[in-house]
């Protein structure tokens, strides 16, 4: 495995780094911690549009669908450079990383023409409607009902934990289209216009104070039968395509984000008093920081291993589950160390005059709890490794 960038990868990196340097909006810092979610979202949408017009959105998407046709390594460089520059994130995160690639893999030509360009330009925002109150880890338990009525499906049911549901124009909805079926059979993956009559979105408030996700209720919603993605009754396979992208992409660039935060924490250790002396001199804190530094390096090398596998075999392997467990649990350990080091200051949130870094430590500590749940819990990832890698019997 060669960890050095090739000449063309270096050229790609330098070009993108220079573009970011001169194009990140000067008022980004003002918007970063903005409370008004919709205003912030419109700012991020405008940023995605600007990047799209400059050719920097859909890096790994094929050129025929408006992407850049970049290699997996270039996609990683792209994500790392975004994280390194502290650039605003792209508004249509689920459309770009999960749903667009699923439409590319399973969509008809008409569907590709209809949806893909607007995902790239952020003209249409997408959310993912998979989880239900009784179908999370056990996703095959989906109950949302899609009944064929002429050339339409009538959809009834409830989804939950849908990130960006409040901003979405479209939802990638996993439904049960055959009421007599059970588990993985009889499911269909349907593209639903969120402005359809009968769609009701209720934001959920998280412990961070934000409402990143929602509940979505469907009351007799009519959806054209042509909006089924892939084959009717085979939605499970289509959904698995979406989840493979989710697990493989969620952690990309995260090691840079954690490393930047870690460097900042080390700086703070030189200035913060703990138990009557500088935190940097406290033997327990020093041990924990040393271990954390080691873990961040392990995460970086594991990510390179996963990329190397995708380069050789074209698809993510079980490495994506190793990475998911490792980075999400590392992030929680790291946030815990930050909390110990900063003491009472770690609990101060945005707007408090004494908060360090405008309260970002309280926010990142709380937000890290969701990392081990979203895109499949740590227990589910360990089950995948137990079954797929170690050959243990399936958990259920």
Ligand X SMILES: Cc1cc2nc3c(=O)[nH]c(=O)nc-3n(C[C@H](O)[C@H](O)[C@H](O)COP(=O)(O)OP(=O)(O)OC[C@H]3O[C@@H](n4cnc5c(N)ncnc54)[C@H](O)[C@@H]3O)c2cc1C
Q: Is 95 in the site for ligand X (CB under 6 A)?
A: no
Contact stretch for ligand X (CB under 6 A) within 19-27, 117-125, 155-163, 296-304 = 155-163
Whether 29 is catalytic? no
| Cα distance between residue 151 and residue 131, in whole Å | 26
Q: Is 360 in the site for ligand X (CB under 6 A)?
A: no
* In the complex, least distance from residue 138 CB atom to ligand X, rounded to whole angstroms: 6
* In the complex, least distance from residue 374 CB atom to ligand X, rounded to whole angstroms: 4
| Cα distance between residue 127 and residue 29, in whole Å | 26
* In the complex, least distance from residue 81 CB atom to ligand X, rounded to whole angstroms: 25
| Cα distance between residue 300 and residue 315, in whole Å | 19
Integer angstrom CA distances of residue 94 from 120, 250, 304: 11, 10, 23
For ligand X, which residue has the nearest CB? 136
- Nearest CA to 107 among 226, 236, 245? 226
Q: Is 121 in the site for ligand X (CB under 6 A)?
A: no
Which of the following is catalytic: 80, 124, 246, 319? Answer: 246
126, 92 in Cβ contact below 8 A?
yes
* In the complex, least distance from residue 322 CB atom to ligand X, rounded to whole angstroms: 17
**In sequence order, which residues have a C-beta less than 8 Å from that of residue 128 and are 6 or more positions away?**
94, 98, 99, 162, 163, 171, 172, 242
The SS3 assignment for 232 reads coil
Residue choice 121, 188, 364, 383 for contact with ligand X (CB under 6 A): 383
Number of residues that bind ligand X (CB under 6 A): 21
Nearer to ligand X, 130 or 334 (CB): 130
Q: Is 377 in the site for ligand X (CB under 6 A)?
A: yes
Q: Is 374 in the site for ligand X (CB under 6 A)?
A: yes
**In sequence order, which residues have a C-beta less than 8 Å from that of residue 85 and are 6 or more positions away?**
17, 20, 21, 24
Within 184-213, the residues that bind ligand X by CB under 6 A are 213
Q: Is 145 in the site for ligand X (CB under 6 A)?
A: no
DSSP 3-state percent helix, strand, coil across the chain (nearest 5): 55, 15, 30
Instruction: List, in sequence order, the alpha helices (H) in 209-318.
Output: 235-250, 254-269, 283-313
Within 272-291, the residues that bind ligand X by CB under 6 A are none
Q: Is 381 in the site for ligand X (CB under 6 A)?
A: no
Binding site for ligand X (CB under 6 A): 127-131, 136-137, 161-163, 213, 370, 373-374, 376-377, 379-380, 383, 395-396
Active site residues: 246
């Amino acid at each position: 495995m060669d960890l050095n960038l090739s000449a063309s990868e270096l050229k790609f990196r330098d070009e993108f780094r220079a573009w970011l340097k001169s194009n990140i909006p000067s008022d980004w810092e003002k918007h970063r911690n903005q409370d008004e979610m919709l205003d912030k979202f419109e700012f991020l949408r405008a940023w995605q549009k600007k990047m799209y017009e400059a050719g920097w959105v859909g890096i790994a998407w094929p050129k025929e669908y408006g992407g850049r046709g970049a290699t997996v390594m270039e996609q990683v460089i792209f994500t790392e450079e975004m994280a390194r520059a502290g650039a605003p994130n792209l508004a249509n995160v689920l459309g770009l990383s999960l749903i667009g690639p699923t439409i590319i893999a399973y969509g008809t030509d008409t569907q590709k023409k209809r949806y893909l360009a607007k995902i790239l330009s952020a003209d249409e925002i997408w959310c993912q409607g998979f989880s239900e109150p009784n179908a999370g880890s056990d996703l095959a338990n989906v109950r949302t009902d899609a009944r064929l009525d002429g050339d339409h499906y009538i959809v009834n049911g409830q989804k939950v934990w849908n990130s960006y549901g409040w901003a979405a124009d479209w939802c990638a909805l996993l439904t049960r289209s055959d009421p007599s079926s059970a588990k993985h059979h009889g499911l269909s993956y349907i593209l639903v216009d969120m402005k359809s009559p009968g769609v009701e979105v209720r934001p959920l408030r998280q412990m961070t104070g934000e409402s990143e996700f929602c509940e979505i209720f469907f009351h007799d919603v009519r959806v054209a039968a042509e909006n089924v993605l892939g084959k009717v009754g085979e939605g499970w396979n289509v959904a698995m395509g979406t989840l493979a992208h989710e697990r493989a992409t969620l952690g990309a660039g995260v090691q840079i984000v954690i490393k930047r935060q870690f460097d900042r924490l080390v700086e703070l250790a030189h200035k913060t008093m703990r138990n009557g002396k500088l935190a940097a001199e406290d033997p327990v804190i020093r041990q924990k920081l040393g271990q954390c530094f080691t873990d961040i390096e392990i995460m970086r090398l594991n990510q390179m291993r996963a990329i190397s596998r995708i380069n050789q075999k074209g698809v993510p392997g079980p490495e994506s589950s190793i990475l998911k467990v490792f980075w999400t649990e590392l992030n929680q350990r790291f946030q815990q160390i930050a909390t110990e080091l900063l003491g009472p200051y770690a609990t101060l949130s945005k707007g408090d005059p004494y908060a360090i870094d405008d309260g970002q430590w309280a926010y990142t500590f709380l937000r890290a709890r969701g990392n081990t749940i979203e895109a499949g819990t740590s227990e589910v990832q360990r089950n995948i490794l137990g079954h797929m890698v170690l050959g243990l019997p399936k958990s259920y």
